[in-house]
């Protein structure tokens, strides 16, 4: 196997985890492949991946958390093929200026890469280079409206953890974009799975103690977080109680009693404070808990339905089809956690790791 050259092209004020998350995932996959091949793990003889972190000026680059990193000069890669180009994010605000030299370098080298990717606000660089025109793309949920305003030709979708867009017409290059910060790990695991198979990606996920495929989208951070947005407000304690009593009666009347308000006053004040009805919060909390249970356990559907307040398997199925477009067991197969033993036989590659 010819090692794939992964180039992570970084800008000043790099969000460090945007880069080191994927780097760690690729390194873990490399360790698995090296072990399977019976090699020593010498970085000079990569089996699956060779990674380079580079910037326009090279040398020491200050990152957003403050930890400096050493980078190569991007122009030193001019005679080297690039399999995968990844652009991590930087802090974004309405007044930020993208580094024009990096935008120009991406525009020049991207056509030579097999695939181009961004992590978090790295999507702004891909968009500025014209690589996202007419494509679906995602970024950190907080910056998605900004991306849509600044680059109206991009079809911004704020919910997915990552998006793989194959293009259309003559522009068939595969472009991946991902959500914020830790979503770079999700993206890297998907790339690894595409390159060398599910078994290696699963082993990398297990070593990182993360989901192989994280359940849900950015909106999962989520029902609980949306409820907690009013932290310090009148419903903070109520939300904590709701999350611990999903199988109980969580009707407006019961919640109003818990909040020591009349049902009418409670319903009105809740919408004013939280921005959604109590029923929608209850539904979202129950669905999120069920999704987590499916991904992290082998509990039967009937038990999950009862524990999460759906009452019956039929109600659970209806909720999953309505929200995710798949049945609960299909969801489990797709998003099974790395910490759950696989039913299929463990491959020789994984065994070697």
CA 29, CA 212: separation in Å to the nearest integer? 13
Strand ranges for the chain from DSSP E: 4-9, 49-55, 59-61, 69-73, 84-87, 115-118, 136-137, 155-156, 162-165, 174-178
Q: CA-to-CA distance for 18 and 179, rounded, in angstroms?
A: 10
Residue 274 φ then ψ, to 5°: -100, -25
The CATH T-level fold of domain 4-208 is Rossmann fold (3.40.50)
Residues designated catalytic: 120
Provide the residue ranges of all domains of the chain, joining segments of one domain with +: 4-208, 218-335
Q: How confident is the model at residue 335 (pLDDT cuts 50, 70, 90)?
A: low
Tell me what pLDDT residue 239 has. Answer: 84
pLDDT of the residue at 44: 54
At 150, the pLDDT band (50, 70, 90 cuts) reads very high
Q: Are 19 and 29 in contact (CB under 8 A)?
A: no
Is residue 241 within 8 Å of 259, Cβ to Cβ?
no
Distance between first and last Cα of the chain: 18
Closest C-alpha to 115, from 207, 38, 177, 29: 177
User: Quick one: how far is CA 279 from the chain centroid?
Assistant: 27
Least confidently predicted of 28-37, 49-58, 179-188? 28-37
3-state class (DSSP) for residue 69: strand
pLDDT of residue 169: 60
Comparing CA positions, the residue from 137, 141, 136 lying closest to residue 92 is: 141
pLDDT reported for residue 198: 86
- What is the C-alpha separation between 208 and 216, in angstroms, rounded? 19
Phi, psi of 203 (to 5 degrees): -65, -40
51-91 pLDDT per residue, tens: 999 999 999 999 988 899 999 999 999 999 999 999 999 99
Residue 82 is predicted with a pLDDT of: 97
Mean pLDDT score across all residues of the chain: 85
pLDDT-derived band at 343 (thresholds 50, 70, 90) equals very low
In this prediction, residues 169-187 reach a mean pLDDT of 86
Q: What is the mean pLDDT of residues 196-217?
A: 81
Supply φ then ψ for residue 344, to 5 degrees.
-70, 155
Instruction: Give the model's pLDDT for residue 193.
Output: 92
pLDDT 10s digits, 87-135: 999 998 877 789 999 999 999 999 999 999 999 999 999 999 999 999 9
Q: Which CATH superfamily is domain 218-335 in?
A: Homeodomain-like (1.10.10.60)
The confidence score (pLDDT) of residue 39 equals 58
In the numeric block, the tokens 């991007």 are attached to 74
Q: Is the pLDDT of residue 16 over 90?
A: yes
Give the residue-averaged pLDDT of 243-272: 92
What is the C-alpha separation between 154 and 280, in angstroms, rounded? 30
Local structure of residue 241 (DSSP, 8 states): H
Rounded CA gap, 147 and 124, in Å? 7
Residue 128: left if φ>0, alpha if ψ -120 to 50, beta else—which one? Answer: alpha
| pTM given for the model | 0.67
Flag whether pLDDT at 231 surpasses 90. no
Rounded distance, CA 288 to CA 103, Å?
39
144 vs 348, higher pLDDT: 144
pLDDT exceeds cutoff 60 at 252: yes
Q: Is the pLDDT score of 346 beyond 60?
A: no
- Structure confidence by residue, pLDDT tens digits, 283-331: 988 988 898 888 778 899 999 999 999 999 999 999 988 887 788 998 8
- How high is the pLDDT of residue 120? 96
Whether the per-residue pLDDT at 184 is higher than 50: the answer is yes
What is d(CA 312, CA 21) in angstroms, rounded to the nearest whole number? 40
């Amino acid at each position: 196997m010819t090692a794939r050259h992964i180039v992570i092209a970084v800008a000043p004020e790099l969000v460090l985890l945007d880069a080191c998350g994927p780097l760690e995932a690729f390194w873990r996959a490399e360790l698995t492949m090296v072990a399977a091949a019976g090699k020593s793990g010498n970085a000079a003889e990569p089996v699956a991946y060779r990674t380079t972190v580079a910037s326009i000026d090279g040398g020491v680059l200050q990152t957003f958390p403050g930890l400096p990193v050493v980078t190569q000069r991007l122009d030193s890669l001019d005679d080297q093929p690039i399999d995968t180009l990844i652009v991590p994010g930087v802090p974004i605000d309405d007044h930020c200026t993208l580094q024009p030299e990096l935008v120009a370098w991406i525009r020049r080298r991207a056509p030579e890469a097999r695939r181009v990717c961004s992590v978090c606000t790295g999507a702004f660089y891909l968009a500025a280079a014209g690589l996202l025109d007419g494509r679906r793309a995602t970024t950190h949920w907080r910056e998605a409206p900004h991306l849509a305003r600044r680059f109206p030709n991009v079809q911004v979708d704020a919910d997915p953890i990552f998006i793989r867009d194959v293009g259309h017409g003559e522009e068939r290059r595969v472009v991946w974009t991902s959500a914020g910060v830790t979503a770079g790990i999700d993206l890297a695991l998907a790339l690894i799975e595409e390159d060398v198979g599910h078994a290696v990606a699963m082993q990398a996920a297990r070593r990182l103690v993360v989901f192989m495929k994280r359940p849900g989208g950015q909106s999962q951070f989520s029902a609980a977080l949306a409820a907690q947005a009013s932290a310090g407000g009148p419903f903070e304690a109520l939300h904590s109680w709701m999350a611990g009593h999903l199988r109980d009666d969580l009707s407006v009347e019961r919640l109003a009693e818990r909040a020591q308000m009349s049902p009418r006053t409670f319903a009105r004040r809740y919408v004013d404070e939280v921005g959604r009805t109590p029923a929608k919060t209850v539904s979202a909390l129950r669905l999120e808990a069920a999704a987590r249970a499916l991904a992290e356990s082998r509990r039967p559907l009937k038990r999950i339905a009862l524990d999460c307040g759906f009452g019956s398997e039929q109600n659970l199925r209806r909720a999953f089809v309505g929200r995710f477009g798949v049945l609960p067991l299909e969801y489990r197969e797709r998003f099974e956690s790395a910490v759950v033993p696989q039913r299929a036989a463990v491959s020789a590659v994984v065994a070697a790791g």
